[in-house]
Amino acid sequence: MSLIVKKFGGSSVANAQRVFNVANIIIEDFKKGHDVITVVSAQGDTTDDLIDKALEINPDGASKREMDVLLSAGEQISISLLAMAIEKLGYPVISLLGWQAGFNTDSHHGFSRIKTLNTERLKNEIGKHKIVIVAGFQGINRYDDITTLGRGGSDTSAVAIAAAMKADLCQIYTDVDGVYSADPRKVDTAKKWDEITYDEMLELAALGAQVLNNRSVEMAKKYNVELEVLSSLERKPGTIVKENIKMEKTLIRGVAKDTNVTRISVIGLEDTPGVAFKLFNKLAQAKVNVDTILQSVGRDGTKDITFTVPSDQCKTAKEALESATNILTYKEISSNEKIAKVSIVGAGMESNPGVAAKMFEALYDAGININMISTSEIKISVLIDVDYADKAVKAVHDAFLG
Ligand code: ASP
Ligand code: MG
């Protein structure tokens, strides 16, 4: 007998028929004698719809505390409906809100971190041999106010329970059947992996391959919780995410693109010490997430610094720099939103030279110009014109995995 933690995303519980489908998946394992704790997200687009309702009331943005009260309601609906379905099918079940399940968080409304998970109630209900259904994405702070963990936070709720309860298995059910080497809707030769490492998953998620929430993978890595990503609509094995996997011959685990990228160039900066510090410090104070950075070689006493930011932070970044003219002198700032980042990820590239050259060759053959390049131990990224992003993904994918 094992303890299994399952998590179902919003699409898996979108309507009554799907709720019963999930109930049956849970009951199947319960009937085998396993203890099952299930975390669910809000049904379908509920969370987005709730956000729209809030904007109707206050287009300037409601307070974060009240947003948490509102958004947590989505999960309250889905846990009760799922519990009702299991009841109807004749099995013992109880639904619990985040606070009832012991989720204590900090007070960062809208993006709270779990501080502790008090497992007493969970253990109690499991002890009574009940199927436990827990509302994902939510907790309570030390003032007894409802908090939420940030969009997609239910994955993190599930991993936290699996870690704290020392579960034997943590299964994340979604509408795709695993982790692929590229978006299977766009690249027909995309491969599904049996296994992938936490680090590879983190890099792929950061690049927009949103199968799992990033925080959940970080937590799984920290507490060594093995995850399985699988489909709730088909009964077949998915992809296991864990620390070490048997290395296959493939160097590359995935090709991903991110189109939420804007390039900002600060032209004609003074070529003196401390300029990069002042510039990026200003951006850090404005909470801008800077990604790739390139500094030109100084010439005639001036230099240029180019960097990328998520497109929705471009305005903030420019304003921060424009308000810094007392400490920074430069000629002009320009920006380009029509940029995409295409990256390859693979733990295998660390020990294999020539991976970068192969990627650049594939882009050259496809006639695609590279603007900027950045690398990390297990990732190589290029910035290109956004119109070529899909073509680039396909060309690079074919070169390594075609
Ligand atoms: N319902 C929340 C959201 O849509 C949490 C989740 O889906 O994990 O972001
Ligand atoms: Mg959702």
Residues 320-356: tens digit of each pLDDT = 999 998 899 999 999 999 999 999 999 888 878 899 9
Q: Where are the beta strands (DSSP E) in 271-365?
A: 293-295, 302-310, 332-345
Q: Is the pLDDT of residue 61 over 80?
A: yes
**Which ligand is located closest to the Cα atom of residue 41?**
1
Q: What is the pTM for the complete model shown?
A: 0.87
Amino acid at 88: K
| Cα–Cα distance measured from residue 197 to residue 308, given in angstroms and rounded to the nearest whole number | 27
**Model pLDDT for residues 376-400, shown as the tens digit of each residue:** 889 999 999 999 999 999 999 999 9
Question: What percentage of the chain has pLDDT greater than the value 90?
Answer: 87
DSSP 39: E
Domain 3-174 has what CATH class? alpha beta
Residue 33, burial from CB neighbour count under 10 angstroms (0-12, 13-18, 19+): exposed
Q: Which residue has the higher pLDDT, 101 or 208?
A: 101
Taking residues 276-300, report their average pLDDT: 93
The pLDDT mean for the chain works out to 94
Q: Is the pLDDT of residue 172 over 80?
A: yes
pLDDT of residue 321: 95
Q: Is the pLDDT of residue 145 over 80?
A: yes
Atom 7, ligand 1: residue with shortest CA distance: 152
Mutate to test the pocket of ligand 1, among 151, 161, 172 (most ligand atoms within 8 A of CB): 151
| Cα–Cα distance measured from residue 208 to residue 244, given in angstroms and rounded to the nearest whole number | 23
CA of 7 to the centre of ligand 1 (A): 12
Amino acid at 207: L
Which backbone phi and psi does 174 adopt, to 5 degrees?
Answer: -145, -165
**Which ligand is located closest to the Cα atom of residue 149?**
1
Q: Where are the alpha helices (DSSP H) in 97-223?
A: 120-127, 154-164, 198-206, 214-223
Question: Can you tell me which atom of ligand 1 is nearest the CA of 137?
Answer: 5
Whether ligand 1 lies within 6 angstroms of the CB of 157 is answered as no
Q: How many CB atoms lie within 10 A of CB 367?
A: 9
| Strand, helix or coil for residue 279 | helix
Whether ligand 1 lies within 6 angstroms of the CB of 42 is answered as yes
| Cα–Cα distance measured from residue 136 to residue 149, given in angstroms and rounded to the nearest whole number | 9
**Model pLDDT for residues 2-36, shown as the tens digit of each residue:** 999 999 999 999 999 999 999 999 999 999 999 99
Whether ligand 1 lies within 6 angstroms of the CB of 138 is answered as no
Which backbone phi and psi does 240 adopt, to 5 degrees?
Answer: -90, 130
Taking residues 347-375, report their average pLDDT: 92
pLDDT category at 249 given cuts 50, 70, 90 is: low
Whether ligand 1 lies within 6 angstroms of the CB of 74 is answered as yes
pLDDT of residue 56: 98
Whose CA is closest to 165, among 214, 121, 100?
Answer: 121
Q: Is the pLDDT of residue 210 over 80?
A: no
Q: Is the pLDDT of residue 248 over 70?
A: no
CA of 44 to the centre of ligand 2 (A): 7
Whether ligand 1 lies within 6 angstroms of the CB of 47 is answered as yes
pLDDT category at 208 given cuts 50, 70, 90 is: low
Question: Can you tell me which atom of ligand 1 is nearest the CA of 152?
Answer: 8
Q: Which residue has the higher pLDDT, 327 or 67?
A: 67
